[in-house]
Amino acid sequence: MATNGASTNGAKKHKYNPTFTQTVINATGPKATPRVRQLTASLIQHLHDFARENDLTVDEWMLGVELMNEAGRMSDDRRNEGQLVCDVLGLESLVDEITFKLASDAADEPTATAILGPFYRHDAPKLPMGACIVDEKTNKEGDRTWMHGTITDFTTGKPIEGVEVDVWHTAPNGLYEQQDPDQPDMNLRGTLTTGKDGKYDFYCLRPVPYPIPYDGPAGKILKALDRHPYRPAHIHFLLKHHGYKPIVTQIFDRNSKYIEDDAVFAVKDSLLVDFKPFQGDPKADFELPYDFKMASFEDAKKHGVAGATQPSTA
């Protein structure tokens, strides 16, 4: 039983009932898995410490509950507001770092990762190599860009055949297609598969900075923290191959505003790219060369990568 700290008579080391948190942790039964036991014990300890250290009141806690409930109610297969709340608190970037970290002494390293973000959609259209992911009828604006590169094995340096390259980015108005009734379904999304040479190429637009949706709990948090909601211009990638650790990443336009203060803290040095003025191709004004290096599952395990398995999003 959780005894009322105020009514016990013994010497008190703590302002609040000093046995309460252990009581809650100890309630876990014998059949809980070791990992569940570890994670919940740690979560309970941190949540309780957070409450005690800040003398968290019922009203403040209830504000948090209502924010989280509101986030859940806004979430569906097109929007994940709970994820967005985590993103503005840096949590997705952190678990991304944790999950895909390679031992820092690796001689070489595969492409760095960045958060998936809440706008990924399964089943983007499969396109032939060299295709254009821009719906030309609706997207009159934007700098047309030819992106291309090679996907290699980060240990052997050899090109990888059969990599599924899933790409998505926002329209010039700063909206992903599922946020924007004026864009056709799956606009600015596509999946391409590499051939024997490991090369990929496609036409897209040079992305622009945009605000994350701030009409929900994530926006309320940003407002309360006096923070802007903008992300620097970037293109999302999810690379999959049965023999390789999937790569979830974003590449960022080095010259974009907000590179230094991304609202969701996803920018990494190695993911900065340069859009180069491009001539001689009537379909593109800019060229964007970018190579990816993938770690095989075997190598990933060898180098101590946590979670070297297919992600739940794959």
Q: Which of residues 192-221 bind a copy of itself (CB under 8 A)?
A: 221
For residue 289 the two structure tokens come to: 């060369």
**Interface pick for a copy of itself out of 18, 125, 126, 227 (rule CB under 8 A):** 227
Q: Which of residues 2-31 bind a copy of itself (CB under 8 A)?
A: 2-7, 12, 15-17, 20-21, 23-24, 27-31
177 binds a copy of itself (CB under 8 A): no
What is the nearest approach in angstroms of a copy of itself to the Cβ of residue 236? 15
Distance CA 291, CA 100 (A): 18
User: End-to-end distance of the chain based on CA atoms, in angstroms?
Assistant: 45
Smaller CB distance to a copy of itself: residue 69 or 156?
A: 69
269 binds a copy of itself (CB under 8 A): yes
Beta strands 292-294 and 144-153, pairing class = parallel
What is the nearest approach in angstroms of a copy of itself to the Cβ of residue 171? 25
* φ, ψ at 293 (rounded to 5°): -120, 125
Q: Which helix H or strand E contains 211, and what residues bound it?
A: strand 210-211
Question: Given the rule CB under 8 A, which of 125-133, 175-183, 257-265, 274-282 is the region that contacts a copy of itself?
Answer: 257-265
- Beta carbons within 10 angstroms of residue 291's beta carbon: 14
Question: Given the rule CB under 8 A, which of 152-160, 190-198, 254-262, 289-297 is the region that contacts a copy of itself?
Answer: 254-262
Q: Which of residues 65-94 bind a copy of itself (CB under 8 A)?
A: 65-66, 68-75, 80-83, 86, 89-94
297 binds a copy of itself (CB under 8 A): no
> Binding mask 107-146 vs a copy of itself (x if CB under 8 A, - otherwise)?
--x--x---x------------------------------
43 binds a copy of itself (CB under 8 A): yes
Smaller CB distance to a copy of itself: residue 61 or 161?
A: 61
> Tokens 């969701």 identify what position?
264
Smaller CB distance to a copy of itself: residue 4 or 279?
A: 4
Rounded to the nearest 10°, the torsion over CA 65, 69, 71, 73 is: -170
Q: How far lies 74's CA from each of 79, 181, 231, 289, in Å?
A: 7, 17, 21, 38
Smaller CB distance to a copy of itself: residue 227 or 276?
A: 227
Class of residue 269 by CB neighbours under 10 A (exposed 0-12, middle 13-18, buried 19+): exposed
Smaller CB distance to a copy of itself: residue 36 or 185?
A: 36
- Listed in sequence order, the DSSP H helices in 3-80 are 20-26, 34-53, 58-74
Q: How far lies 158's CA from each of 112, 191, 198, 303, in Å?
A: 18, 22, 8, 19
* DSSP tag of 102: P
**Interface pick for a copy of itself out of 127, 129, 131, 259 (rule CB under 8 A):** 259
Smaller CB distance to a copy of itself: residue 283 or 306?
A: 306
Q: Are 119 and 183 in contact (CB under 8 A)?
A: no
What is the nearest approach in angstroms of a copy of itself to the Cβ of residue 132? 31
**Interface pick for a copy of itself out of 18, 19, 62, 125 (rule CB under 8 A):** 62
